[in-house]
Amino acid sequence: MQGSAYAREEALCIEFDVRAGDVEHGGMASSQIKAALKQFGLSEPVARRAGIIAFEGEMNLIVYSDSGGTIRVCVDSEYIEITVQDFGPGIEDVDLALTPGYSTAPAWATDLGFGAGMGLHNMEKNADRFEIHSRLDEGTTISCWVKRRTDDSS
């Protein structure tokens, strides 16, 4: 899997296309995102949080999106911004989807250990700021910001 890198205003970005149903390559984009962030000089705990967010977003694109989607990661002087976007099917009840334990994962995904209903919660928990917008038939966009510097740099 190949990500494309580019500069956006004051930020450096990398973007990956994720294919619907492509579970065989699941986690490839997020592994590369974490490695790139570490190479960029970010600490393990910070790259880890961003990597977990990217992984949960990536797997939701694979399991739920109609036609795949994108993960974009941009780093500026203060934040890592991770944006996960697809164009359908959208989420009917976002609050319900965010509830730990709620899942509509199909059997093939639960057989592989997905479907705990913890993914969106993990994204929210690892982000300093979290936004989700979703409309049925239009799609879902999730944006997460992770501070580059943490007080507990453990």
126 binds ligand ATP (CB under 6 A): no
Cβ pair 58, 20 in contact under 8 A: no
Stretch that binds other proteins, among 17-25, 73-81, 84-92, 131-139 (CB under 8 A): 17-25
85 binds ligand ATP (CB under 6 A): no
The Cα 129–Cα 121 span in angstroms is 13
The option from Mg ion, ligand ATP, other proteins, none interacting with 34 (CB < 5 to 8 A, set by class) reads: other proteins
The option from Mg ion, ligand ATP, other proteins, none interacting with 127 (CB < 5 to 8 A, set by class) reads: none
Least distance (Å) between residue 8 CB and other proteins: 24
Q: Helices marked H in 13-106 — which ranges? A: 28-39, 44-64, 94-98
Please select the residue that binds ligand ATP; options are 91, 127, 144, 146, rule is CB under 6 A. Answer: 91
- Which residues in the 40-99 window bind Mg ion by CB under 5 A? 60
Cβ pair 61, 16 in contact under 8 A: no
Structure tokens at 70: 């994108």
40 binds other proteins (CB under 8 A): no
The Cα 107–Cα 125 span in angstroms is 26
The Cα 60–Cα 75 span in angstroms is 23
Structure tokens at 57: 């977003």
Contact residues: other proteins, CB under 8 A = 23-28, 30-31, 34-35, 44-45, 48, 51-52, 54-56, 59, 112-119, 121-122, 125
- Residue numbers of the site for Mg ion (CB under 5 A)? 60, 119
